Amino acid sequence: MLNTPDTSPLFQAKDEVQFHRGMAALIAESTGATAILFAARDDGPILLATRLRGSLPAGLLDDRELKSTLSAALASGNLVSHKFVQADLILWALPVKGEGNLGLALLAKPSLLDAGGEARMLAWIAVPEALFAQRKLRLERDTYRDGLDQACFFLDTLHRSGSAPSYARGMQALAEDLRQFVGADRVAIGLGTPMRCKAAALVPASKF
């Protein structure tokens, strides 16, 4: 059974780059292996995020055999491994399902595979699929919630302006609500055509 640490901080990432870095850090800390999130490009795979665990030989992350292994994993859609004999390291690379040309690789000493370590590695290398799916659900939920909040705001605005005691007060209420919604210092509502427009409401009136 895979013991997954608290992943909630990961979903507070402000953008995709921060999310990638957080994921690499989470997996590296959980496995003890160097975690590499990579993507395919026309001129070969690029490393999107890397979290090192232990020291690596100089230039290994740019090594041709490492890049070839990453490319082979993306091309085949399956788990691909490679052993760096001189560096005494094993590399596993696996595409992230549902994420196009994105993949995760783990780089570790063979000694890390003792006592069930290999099974743990193989379990963790598939974790990004679930994390990406969960992030998509959260983003969709937040988008739906924002849309619902906006709909409620406009319904309330229409009610306030429509139930005002006069047309002028209703337009003023509408301008006040729009100012609050967009966060502007001043709002003006004009009626008419682009060539002939008459101000119907100014907020705040003292600033115009």
Q: Specify whether the CB–CB gap between 53 and 105 falls below 8 A.
A: no
% of the chain residues with pLDDT over 90:
27
- Taking CA atoms, 182 is separated from 67, 83, 171, 178, in Å, by 48, 57, 16, 6
Asked if 200 and 173 touch (Cβ cutoff 8 Å), the reply is: no
CA–CA distance, 73 with 67 (Å, rounded to integer): 10
**Omega into 9 within 30° of 0, i.e. cis?**
no
Mean pLDDT of 197-206: 74
Please state whether the predicted TM-score (pTM) of the whole model is above 0.85.
no
More confident residue, 6 or 59: 59
* pLDDT cut 70: percent of the chain above it: 85
What are the pLDDT digits (tens) for 33-43?
899 999 998 88
- The pLDDT value given to residue 208: 44
Q: What is the pLDDT of residue 34?
A: 93
pLDDT for the residue numbered 3: 60
Q: What is the pLDDT of residues 80-139, one digit of tens each?
A: 999 998 889 999 999 988 887 899 999 988 887 766 666 777 777 778 888 888 888 877
Q: What is the rounded average pLDDT of the residues 150-177?
A: 75
Beta strands across the sheet bearing 89-95: 46-51, 34-39, 102-108, 89-95, 80-84
Helices (H), the chain: 16-31, 64-76, 117-124, 127-162, 167-182
What average pLDDT is seen over the chain?
82
Say which residues have a Cβ less than 8 Å from residue 142's Cβ, sequence separation at least 6: none
